[in-house]
Each structure stands twice: as structure tokens, then as C-alpha cells.
Amino acid sequence: MTRVDEPRTDGGRSTPTLEQVARLAGVSRATASRAVNGGNRVSPRSQAAVDAAVRELGFSPNPAARSLVTRRTDSVAVVVPEPDERVFADPFFARTLRGVTEVLSDRDLQLVLLLARPGEEESRMLRYLGRRHVDGAIVVSHHRSSGLADHLADLRLPCVFVGRPWTGADRVAYVDTDNVAGGKQATEVLITRGCHRIATIAGPSDMTAGSDRLDGWRGALLAAGLDDSAVEYGNFSEEGGYEAARRLLAHHPDLDGIVAASDLMALGALTALREDGREVPRDVALIGYDDVGIAERTSPQLTTVRNPISEMAEQATRMLLEQIDAGRPAHAVRVIFPPAVVGRDSA
């Protein structure tokens, strides 16, 4: 069996060892190891000498040895407690992953995507994280029942949530947008337009984004003295929006405006309205939420609320890297992004 610090060969040629780097730099092997693997407790003079020796010899650190020294895996996880069919169908997740990889591109870190349905899959994922197979985690699209914030805080694993967690929000860092304000702004657009019977297709009631956007819709209606009983729930999918819109039309045939808690659900609602013979926006004005590219491809183009998904993912990744570099989880830092209505043709 070969030790990790023994010379290795490549095509018969001997590759430089850490001992050779140490001798050339005029430092101990321990100092050379620390300098190569992160510079902890190394003087600037010794670091410069080791760096010069590494360049001259063409030394490449052994990943296994580096991991033993740093206790890092050089990988971070994006945790999505959702079934894979939803993850790959919803552009929200594509934008999130794009934002994460944009920041990680400057670091030599591997991205690990962890998908887990509630139940045994989630338990297996928590065991994986508990064994420190990654240096930290970004959690996206979490539900009330998961308790992931408390679990990760107990593990003391560096983590950042995209979206406020239901529980444990005082124990972990998170980034979010003001979903209450976004729901309120969307509804006010329809009120200003002159709509009097405004319904909503709310997101899942066990997710903070769904609950907050519903609160914003309800607050705007109550402030305007309008009825707030026309509520149906979807699952942020096109099919869920379609089914919810059909129920709204059956129970509230006089509706003249719909606020959907996602663009995908608004797209489903648009189909249901057409099947019912309603023209948008003449008969029913429609607003979505997220502005993830779908809104520009519908006919008519969809008025929506911009959810700064890429910016939130990038901010979450920077916050996670700060925790990893510091070697410990952060206090409950939170960053909130403002929403903005993007006016198009449907309202």
C-alpha cells in the first residue's frame, strides 16, 4: 500500500513530493503542508517560499492528504426537498442553480444536488449531511414538515436557506424576497385597474412563500374593502394552476381578476380561462409571480412580480462560502430582496 506522501509516478516519471517542496522552500514538512493546504498558521515569508517551490517543482497536492489536513470535502450541496419531476420542470430551480454555479465558478468546489421527497429519502439525506460529506448546504424550496433548519443547526453544518424557513429561522442564515409585499403589489395592480372580484391561486400552505403571498393578496383586498373569499391552492405547477382556476371559475363565476402565486400556475390558469371562454385581460385580468421567462412567452404576455431568484441564489452562495472559510456556521443573518411588478399585457 502506498502512503499519501510517497512519490507518485506518471508514465514512469517521478512526481514531486511534499518533502521536496519543504526542502526547496527551507521549511519543515508540517509548514509546507499547511501552506499548500490553506495557509493556516503560516508566516507570509514561509508561504511565499512554499508557493515558489510549488511553482518550480510543479507540485500538485494529493486530494486525500489535503482532505486529512483541512477536514474539507471541497464540495457544497444544494438541497431541494422536492420530487425530481417538479425540480426539472420548474424554471425557478434552473435559475437557482445557475446563480449558485455563477459564484462557485471562481472556487475549486464541487456542487452536489440532493433531491429528497419527505420521509425516508429525507432521512437518508440528513444522514448524508450529518456525516459531513459536504462542507455546507444551500437549502431551497423547503416545507413546514421538514424541520431542516433545526436539523442543520443541530449538526452545526454551514448552511444558508433560500426562503425563510418555517421553524428555526432564528438559528440559520437565509435570503428571501418580501413575498407579502409582492402579493400586495400584484393585487393592487388589479384594484387600480378596477377589478372588484379578485381571486387568488395560492401556493402550498406549508411553504412560507405561498403563505406570505396569500397574506399580501388578502391585506390589499381588505384595505380596499373587497371580499377575500375567492382562494384556491396549487402546488406551483402548471397543472396545479389549471385545476385551481377551474375550481375558482366554478365557485366564483363573477371573478374579474386572478393573482397567481407563480408564473407556472398563471400559465395553467390562462388555459382554464380560455377553455371557459374568458378573454384575458378583457374579461379576467391575470397576474403571475416570479418572472422566470415564461411570462414573456405567453399570449398575452403575463404581468408578473419579479422574484430576484438569481440574485438570492448568488447571495446565499457567498454567505455560505463565508461560513465555510470561517470554519463555522454563521449567526442568523438574513438578507431580504424587494419585489417589483413587471407590467405586461395580461393586466
Domains 75-177+310-337 and 179-306 share a fold: yes
User: For the chain, which residues make up each domain, given as ranges?
Assistant: 9-70, 75-177+310-337, 179-306
| Phi, psi of 257, rounded to the nearest 5 degrees | -160, 145
For 175-229, write each residue's pLDDT tens digit: 999 999 999 999 999 999 999 999 999 999 999 999 999 999 999 999 999 999 9
Domain 9-70 has CATH 1.10.150.20: no
Residues 6 or more apart whose Cβ sits within 8 Å of residue 21: 32, 36, 50, 53, 54, 57, 59
CA Rg value for the chain: 26
pTM: 0.78
Q: Is the pLDDT of residue 69 over 70?
A: no
Which CATH number is correct for 75-177+310-337, 3.40.50.300, 3.40.50.2300, 3.40.190.10, 3.20.20.70? 3.40.50.2300
In the structure, what pLDDT confidence band is assigned to residue 290 with cuts at 50, 70 and 90? very high
The CATH number given to 179-306 is 3.40.50.2300
Beta bridge partners of 258: 199, 286
Counting other chains too, the contacts that 144-149 makes at CB distance below 8 Å and 24 or more residues apart are 144/206, 144/207, 145/118, 145/206, 146/81, 146/118, 146/122, 148/79, 148/81
d(CA 207, CA 142): 7
Please name the residue that has the C-alpha cell 439525506.
Answer: 125
Please name the residue that has the C-alpha cell 460529506.
Answer: 133
d(CA 311, CA 76): 18
Q: Is the pLDDT of residue 68 over 80?
A: no
Q: Is the pLDDT of residue 272 over 70?
A: yes
